[in-house]
Amino acid sequence: MTGWLYEFRAFSAFHAVVAGLCVAVMALWCVVGRRLVRLDRADGGGRERAFGEATGWAIVLWQVFATVWRVLPGQWDLNESLPMHLCRWNGWIVAICLIAGHRNGWRWSRALTFFWGLGLSVQGIVTPMWTDGAATVEFWLYWVGHLQIVGVAVYDLVVRGYQPKRWDLRFAMAAGVGYVLLTALLNRWLGTNYSYLGSWDYERASIVDKLGDYPGRVFVMTFGALVLFIGMFWASRGVRALAGRRRAVPA
């Protein structure tokens, strides 16, 4: 009856509940943000920006806690504790996106939030790898972290109206290749498997298992991510064009 407190199973009823709660929180987050935007338009206030920045700093505090927790003596695991998983990078990136993404010189954070966060980290919600139940700290670190990443990506689209440009696509692709090279080299040096770019396999089943053996799967994953980014870019262009045509049609 209480197995979900200590063990999490992907595609279980509890997984559906947790994923559903994540979607509900994201929706509420966007509703609040859009309401603040309407108020700001009415009187020129800065409520939405203040709300976003406060949320961003809250995410920073959460990421600090998560990073420190994972390197404590009782939690240390060379295979998991280093901040090298892509989703852990994304946790910091989305915080920057909320705090400074609107400022000149920080647009890169919005690009990575969209392409890396929405494009790649959403897999952590759909096909979670962790098996820790709700009574563990690891469960909350995992799920709150992924909620923050995907939630900020959706918020930036729905509330702040982010629209990727060609520069954003090129930057996300170049940064992605750089991340793969760095992480693959680190994995080879330490014998780890951060972001599944190492030579060994996790005991838990993963979609990565379908991509072949190492090192070939590293190239397959990289190529697949780049194709996904291109697809996301053109899909966003299509949605924007469709929305523009609808607004142009007389009522």
What pTM was computed for the model?
0.92
The arithmetic mean of pLDDT across residues 242-246, rounded, is: 69
User: Which tens digits make up the pLDDT trace of 143-178?
Assistant: 999 999 999 999 999 999 999 999 999 999 999 999
Q: Quick check: 151 and 121 in contact, CB under 8 A?
A: no
Tell me the pLDDT of the chain averaged across its residues: 92
Q: CB-side exposure of 24: number of CA atoms within 13 Å?
A: 6
Cα separations in angstroms, 193 against 12, 133, 163, 188, 215? 26, 23, 33, 8, 12
pLDDT range class, residue 224, cuts 50, 70, 90: very high
User: Which tens digits make up the pLDDT trace of 111-131?
Assistant: 999 999 999 999 999 988 888
**Does residue 209 carry a pLDDT above 70?**
no
User: Which tens digits make up the pLDDT trace of 58-113?
Assistant: 999 999 999 999 999 999 999 999 999 999 999 999 999 999 998 889 999 999 99
pLDDT range class, residue 184, cuts 50, 70, 90: very high
CB count, 10 Å around CB of 240? 13
pLDDT range class, residue 6, cuts 50, 70, 90: confident
